[in-house]
Amino acid sequence: MPKRPLSLTLDLIARAHPDPVRDDPTAQTFLTDDELGPGLTQALARRPKAGESLWVFGYGSLIWQPEFAFTERRIGTVRGYHRRFCLLQRRFRGSVERPGLVLALDRGGLCRGVAFRLADDDPHATLLPVWRREMRGNGYLGRWVTVETDQGPVTALTFVVNRASDRYTGRLTEPEIADRIATGAGHLGPSAEYLFRTAEACAREGILDLHLWTLQALVAERLEARAAC
């Protein structure tokens, strides 16, 4: 855990974003299960070691809201990708008028997160809920990665940014990212709450991510100014 508490708090977020945002179902087009199914089938066909346990690697909201049953969880490191706010959110945690940002894995560096072990009786049925959650908005690509854990390496499915998507922002500076997170809000709440819950969950797990820690401080500064107006 960091020695200092988070500057960003739920109270500050609520004061800076007191008004709810109405949902706009037209803000984003989603793929149906029929459209998503073949991609999941192809991903499972590319699974490097089909005889091993089925794992999913989470680095953002999956850490604090996995929404699937798992039998084991391990802290681990993936190399070749880093955690970054680089995906526009025009619904849920953002809107067309006030788009937010969510995390993805982008090229280079490393990322510490949580690997979840799932039941492997029917991999397609087991993975479909998380595949639907991550892939229906055309922001991610499914990839199998090696996760280094204290108990040994595991192969896990994770979701990296789709650089061909119109939601991909490229490499914004951290002040630019903070500007968007501070203003972004959708019907599920502000983009800043997503940042807070991810930073809090990572800190609780002992995952110290400078990108998250810097951003939460920058966003807190912006929300303090917003709340004071």
User: What is the CATH number for 202?
Assistant: 3.10.490.10
Residue 100 near residue 89, CB atoms below 8 Å = yes
Question: Max alpha carbon distance in the chain (Å)?
Answer: 58
Distances (CA, A) of 116 to 48, 67, 211: 17, 11, 23
Distances (CA, A) of 96 to 23, 89, 147, 177, 219: 10, 8, 36, 17, 20
Beta carbons within 8 Å of 17's beta carbon, 6+ residues apart: 185, 189, 190, 192
Q: What does the pLDDT read at residue 1?
A: 45
Residue 4 located in a structural domain:
no
Q: What does the pLDDT read at residue 163?
A: 97
Distance between start and end Cα atoms, the chain: 33
Distances (CA, A) of 70 to 32, 127, 197: 25, 11, 20
Residue 73 located in a structural domain:
yes
Residue 32 located in a structural domain:
yes
Residue 110 located in a structural domain:
yes
Residue 154 located in a structural domain:
yes
Relative to beta strand 54-58, strand 154-161 is parallel
Cβ neighbours around 54 below 10 Å, total:
23
* Catalytic residue, candidates 134, 148, 174, 176: 134
* Residue 13 DSSP symbol: H
Whole-angstrom distance, CA of residue 150 vs CA of residue 131? 27
Residue 72 located in a structural domain:
yes
Residue 30 located in a structural domain:
yes
Q: Over its length of 229 residues, how does the chain's per-residue pLDDT go in tens digits?
A: 455 789 999 999 999 999 999 999 999 989 999 999 999 999 999 998 766 899 999 999 999 999 888 999 999 999 999 999 999 999 999 999 999 999 999 999 999 999 999 988 899 999 999 999 999 999 999 999 999 999 999 999 999 999 999 999 998 999 999 999 999 999 999 999 999 999 999 999 999 999 999 999 999 999 999 999 8
Structural domain of 183: 10-228
Report the number of distinct structural domains present in the chain.
1
Rounded-to-10 torsion of CA 179, 103, 189, 69: -170
Give catalytic status of residue 134 as yes or no: yes
Q: What does the pLDDT read at residue 121?
A: 85
Residue 172 located in a structural domain:
yes
